[in-house]
Amino acid sequence: GAPRFSKGAYFLGKCVWAKGYTELIELLSENKEKLGDGVSVDCYGTGEDLQDVKLESEKRKLGLQFLGARDHLDDSIHDYQVFVNPSMSDVVATTSAEALAMGKWVICADHPSNVFFSQFNNCLIYHNADEFVEHMKFALSHEPAPMTAEDRNRLTWEAATERFLNVTELTEKDLTPDPVTATVDSAAWLTHNSLCGIETLRAAAGAGKNTRDNPENLAAYEPHESGGGLFDRTLQ
């Protein structure tokens, strides 16, 4: 019956502006009064922009603490209740998936890279700064629900493989193109193969003189000094 988490919000990622620190600082800075002085975010990560990010945070008097490089395997990360990931550049961030798998709240932006995460019960998607504030207040004051069997299954390699196979499987429509497409494809194939059989055109296109047919003795083959192509250079 005791609370599962003893710490508040954190962000984990390489400390470069493009990884989400720009968005994080802007959101916290613009909404300091709405969030209140008690809201702070611990940041884990190192990188070339660390000192600049620290200076900007201090300049704006934000409650950001920079605690070095750690990952979700570190025991100290397990106690956090809310993972904030405002990044607009990561494509299906691994850290978001890990936080969800650990039973935490995940707060992230409405962005194509977060569509997969939006289906999880503990993922809170914000569309604007006001929603970000609402989600932060709610997540910090309410425990996330235990993961359902369905959510847990979505994070397995088996489920990922199944999704991959589903999107790559050829349908009956793919295997049987419409008459117009089939005619165009056949015409393109015939044209390509016919032109490739003409030595002059092959050489002009840069294929090299006398390369259409395999030589009788490959070891004795010597290329021509000039390939004969429009943009070929003479061998020195």
Give 142's Cβ-side CA count (13 Å radius): 13
- Which pLDDT value is given to residue 236? 53
- Which pLDDT value is given to residue 175? 82
Q: What is the separation of C-alpha 134 from the centre of its chain, rounded to a whole number of angstroms?
A: 26
Q: What is the DSSP string of the chain?
A: ---S--EEEEEES-SSGGGTHHHHHHHHHHTHHHH-TT--EEEE---TTHHHHHHHHHHTT--EEE-----TTSGGGTTEEEEEE--SS-SS-HHHHHHHHTT-EEEEES-GGGTTGGGSTTEEEESSHHHHHHHHHHHHHSPPPPPPHHHHHHTSHHHHHHHHHHHHPPPHHHHS--HHHHHHHHHHHHHHHHHHT-HHHHHHTTS-TT-SS--S-GGG----SS---TTPPPP-
- Which pLDDT value is given to residue 226? 58
- Which pLDDT value is given to residue 37? 72
Q: How many CB atoms lie within 10 A of CB 9?
A: 20
Tokens of 163: 């999704």
Q: Report CA-CA distances (Å) from 31 to 27, 35, 39, 100, 131.
A: 6, 6, 11, 25, 11
- Which pLDDT value is given to residue 193? 86
pTM higher than 0.85 for the full model? no
pLDDT in 10s for each residue of the chain, 236 residues: 678 899 999 999 999 998 899 999 999 998 988 887 768 899 999 999 999 999 999 999 887 999 999 999 999 999 999 999 999 887 668 999 999 999 999 999 999 989 999 999 999 999 999 999 999 999 999 999 999 999 999 999 999 999 999 989 888 877 888 889 889 999 999 998 888 888 888 777 777 777 777 878 888 777 666 555 666 665 55
> What is d(CA 133, CA 145) in angstroms, rounded to the nearest whole number?
20
> What is d(CA 4, CA 14) in angstroms, rounded to the nearest whole number?
27
Q: Which amino acid is at 112?
A: P
Tokens of 201: 């055109």
Long-range contact pairs involving 110-113 (C-beta distance under 8 Å, separation at least 24): 113/88, 113/89
**Residues 78/102, Cβ–Cβ less than 8 Å:** yes
- Which pLDDT value is given to residue 212? 77
